[in-house]
Amino acid sequence: RRKLTMTIYKTTKTTFQLNWYANPYHTPLFVAQSKGWLLEEGIDLAILEACSPSDVTEVVGAGKVDMGMKAMIHVLAAKDRGIDLTSFGTILDEPPTGLIFKKYMNIKGIEDLRGKNIGYIDHFGKIMVDDLMKQAGIPQTEYKMVRVGMNVTDAIMRGEIDTGIGFTNFQRIELEELSGEPVGMLRIDELDGLGCCCFCSIQFVASDEYYKNNIPKIEGFMRALRRAMDLTIEYPDEAWDIMCRANPRLNTPLYTKIFQRTLPYFSRDLLNVERDWTKVGDFCKHLDILKNDFDQNSIWTNEHVSSTGTPSVAPVTAGGVLPPKTSPFAVTPEPVAIEA
């Protein structure tokens, strides 16, 4: 009898797990791939979409995929569960996150959530809302939490929920465009007094083992992404064209608007921010998400973030995007001496 042998194929590709389906805030990654900048670094990248965003930390942490991206709060929660990940950069900085709703619901604050069906993405979203309601003295019997995953907009449109957790630059725009109605939002960071939406910043991650054994590849990846980020921010039309060619289903007015609203939140320097990791770690401890004692600043590094490339365009408004008279960062012109 002939003995059968099987050859196990080992891919030479580097695998990268997105935190959702390919969408506008993944644009720099596709720019780096389409421009050939990753190949220049010796990286043949296979970009994988996530059917269930909740699986990303486990899949990457187990080494089934080489690298990926996930929100800061999830990276911390994974560490607490014994999934060792290293964040080696940031793609999206502090996108405002909160409860979105059609304005006719007349939701002005937490008190207006009594009797409402509230949608959440995953377990952490529920914990955040329950904590806010507890702070407001509203018992769980006076509202209903409904897990809708990333389908917050659809759930509101179908009438399954009255409000749900989403990004201001994504689900809020989506609901506004698809419903044709004005949309409001209660920002979680403002309700909780956090001062930033850093818990939803999106990080580049790898398992500790992959990270330690592939430093040259991590460095090459970050060099390519820095070039791609510069192009995305400075030449957004070109970047979006590249993204739509790679993902034709995104070539719609809705996704174009989402991309435009996402531009301010792309991380220009790709750096992890120590203040954010400290603040999010403390927030997680307040929510009792972290059961174990560890240093939240021990799971990230900026050692391999490229410093090449500088902005070639000036800000639209000096000091910020607000009119000079109202901006807290407004630049006051120096008085000009006039000769008599």
Annotated catalytic residue: which of 26, 74, 123, 304? 74
Which has the closest alpha carbon to 118: 83, 144, 154, 79?
144
Contact (CB, 8 A) for 128 and 99? no
- Rounded to an integer, what distance in angstroms lies between the CA atom of residue 233 and that of residue 105? 36
**Cβ-defined contacts of 213-216 (< 8 Å, 24+):** 214/66, 215/304
- Rounded to an integer, what distance in angstroms lies between the CA atom of residue 313 and that of residue 76? 35
What's the half-sphere exposure (Cβ side, CA atoms, 13 Å) at 336? 2
All residues at 6 or more sequence positions from 304 whose CB lies less than 8 Å from its CB, including other chains: 88, 89, 215, 218, 219, 222
The phi-psi region of residue 276 (left if phi > 0; otherwise alpha if psi is between -120 and 50; otherwise beta) is alpha
Tell me the CA distances in angstroms from 72 to 26, 91, 221, one per residue in order. Answer: 16, 11, 20
Contact (CB, 8 A) for 16 and 68? yes
- Rounded to an integer, what distance in angstroms lies between the CA atom of residue 72 and that of residue 17? 15
| Strand ranges for 172-331 from DSSP E | 183-187, 202-207
Active site residue 123: no
Q: How far apart are the first and last CA of the chain?
A: 110
Catalytic residue list: 74
